[in-house]
Amino acid sequence: MLAGVAAACPLAAATPLASVVAGRITMLDKDDRPAEDIGQAVIWLESATPAPPPPVSAEIGTSEKAFSPHVLVIPAGSTVGFPNHDPFNHNVFSLSEENPFDLGLYGRGETRSVRFTRPGIVRVYCNVHAQMSAIVVVRDSPWYAQPGSDGSFSLPAVPAGAYTLHLWHERAEAVSRDLTVPAGGVGDLSLQLDARGYRFKPHLNKHGQPYPQQGRRY
C-alpha cells in the first residue's frame, strides 16, 4: 500500500500547483482623474499550453435602447442570447473579423442567439439604434476576470508557470506583459491603464455606412 502511494508521488509532484493571481487595476481618465468605469476592464492570462474551459450559455439583453451587460467575457464555443425587452425592433450585428454575425430585425419578447467560436474582442451594435454598443470578449483559457468597482481582481486556479498577461479596456490602450506565476501565486499585482487620450469615434452600420441622422421614430 505504501509502495503504491510512493510511486504516485512523483507524478503528483510533476503537476504544477494551482495558485491565485490577484491585484488591483487603476485607470487614468482625462485630467488624471481615476476612471469610474474600471469595472468594464478585462484581464486574462495566455499560456503556451492552452486549457480551453467548457462553453457556457449567457445573455446580453436589450432594454431602453441599451445592451446589458455592456461587456461580457465568455469561453470560446459559448452561446450568447440577445433577448429584446423593448417595445420596438432591434437588429443586433457585428462586423468583427473573429465572429461576424447579423441577427436581423426582431421584436419584443424574441431572443436570437450567436455562438462565438474564435477568441477575440467582438464589438456588437444595433443597426437600428446607433447609440447601442456592447463588447463580447471571447477567451480560450479559464484565467480571466473583470475587476470590481475598486479595480481589485482575482484569477483563481492558475497553475505555476510562465504566462502573458493581457489587460484591456475599450477606452484605453491594451497592456501585455510577461508574468511568471510561482507555486505560491501572486497577490500584489499593480496594473495601470491610460484612457487620457480616448476620443469617441462613431461606428458605421452593418452596411458600412453612417447611420441616418433623421427619420427614426424610436
β-pairing, 101-106 vs 161-168, is unpaired
Question: Is residue 125 predicted with pLDDT exceeding 50?
Answer: yes
Q: How much is the pLDDT for 50?
A: 78
Q: Give 37-73 pLDDT, tens digit per residue.
A: 999 999 999 999 878 899 999 999 999 999 999 999 9
Q: Give 70-90 pLDDT, tens digit per residue.
A: 999 999 999 999 999 999 999
> Taking the alpha carbons of 106, 107, 111, 117 in that order, is the dihedral positive or negative?
positive
Q: Give 180-216 pLDDT, tens digit per residue.
A: 999 999 999 999 999 999 999 999 999 999 998 764 5
Domains belonging to the chain, first-starting first, are: 17-51+141-197 (2.60.40.10), 53-140 (2.60.40.420)
pTM: 0.89
